[in-house]
Structure 1
Amino acid sequence: MKQSFVYILKCSNTSYYTGVTSTLTSRIFKHNTGFYPDCYTFNKRPLELVFYCEFTDINLAIETEKQIKKWSRAKKEALINGDFDKLVNLAKKKF
C-alpha cells in the first residue's frame, strides 16, 4: 500500500499549516522554496516541519488532515508536543 502523510508546518509568523501528501520530503522542500506561489505558506517562509504521521489509507489521511485543520492552536500544539492526554480536554466546548 502507498504511504501518505499528514504534516504540520510552523510558519515564520508562528501560525501552523496542515497538509497531506504521499511525498513528505519533496512537499516540504517545495513549500520552503516557494514552489506553490498561491499557497498559504508562500509568504510565511522559512517553514519548520513540527509534526507528521504516516497512513496507509489516503482517505484516512485526508480525513485526519481536515479534522486537524479545524482544531484550535492549543490542541494542535498538544498534538505537536505529544501531550495526547490534553487532546480530550481541549476538544470540549466551553458554554
Structure 2
Amino acid sequence: MWYVYIVRCSDDSLYTGITTDLDRRVKEHNESPKGAKYTRARRPVVLVHQEAYDNKSLASKREYQIKQLPKSSKLRLMLNE
C-alpha cells in the first residue's frame, strides 16, 4: 500500500507527501535528517490526513492533486474524514 498524507507543521503550514510506512515517515519528519527539508525547519509535525492507494502511480497523482489545492481546500479535505 502507498499512502498520501498531510502533516501540519509547528508554524501551522501543511506538507503533503507519499510513503509506504506512515509511522516511519512521520517519525522521520520529526526526528531524522531524512525528513523533508521543509519540515525539518518546522518541527514538530502532526499527521492530520491520510489516504491509501494500491500503487505508487495512483498515490503520486493524488499527491500532485492535493498539492495544487489552496490551503482552505486542504483544510476542508481534512475535516471531511
What is the TM-score of this pair, normalised by structure 2? Answer: 0.93
**Which residue number corresponds to residue 20 of structure 1?**
18
**Which residue number corresponds to residue 10 of structure 1?**
8
Q: How far did 1:57 drift?
A: 1.9
Runs of 4+ in 1 over 6 A off after TM superposition: none
Q: Identity rate of aligned residues, in percent?
A: 35
Q: How far did 1:39 drift?
A: 1.5
Q: How far did 1:36 drift?
A: 2.7
- What is the distance in 1 between the residues matched to 2:7 and 2:38? 11
After TM superposition, list the pairs within 5 Å mapping 1:1-95 onto structure 2.
3-36=1-34, 39-82=37-80
Secondary structure of the structure 2 residue equivalent to 1:68: helix
> Contact 2:2 / 2:18 at 8 angstroms: preserved in 1?
yes
What residue ranges of structure 1 are gaps of 5+ in the alignment?
84-95
Which structure has more RCO (C-alpha within 8 Å, separation ≥ 6)?
2
Decide whether aligned partners of structure 1 residues 11 and 38 sit closer, same or farther in structure 2, where only a CA change above 3 A counts.
closer
- What is the distance in 2 between the residues matched to 1:38 and 1:73? 19
- What is the distance in 1 between the residues matched to 2:50 and 2:79? 12
Q: How many pairs were matched up? A: 81
What residue ranges of structure 2 are gaps of 5+ in the alignment?
none
| Larger Rg over CA atoms | 1
- What is the distance in 1 between the residues matched to 2:6 and 2:20? 14
Q: How far did 1:38 drift?
A: 5.7
Secondary structure of the structure 2 residue equivalent to 1:6: strand
Decide whether aligned partners of structure 1 residues 36 and 23 sit closer, same or farther in structure 2, where only a CA change above 3 A counts.
same
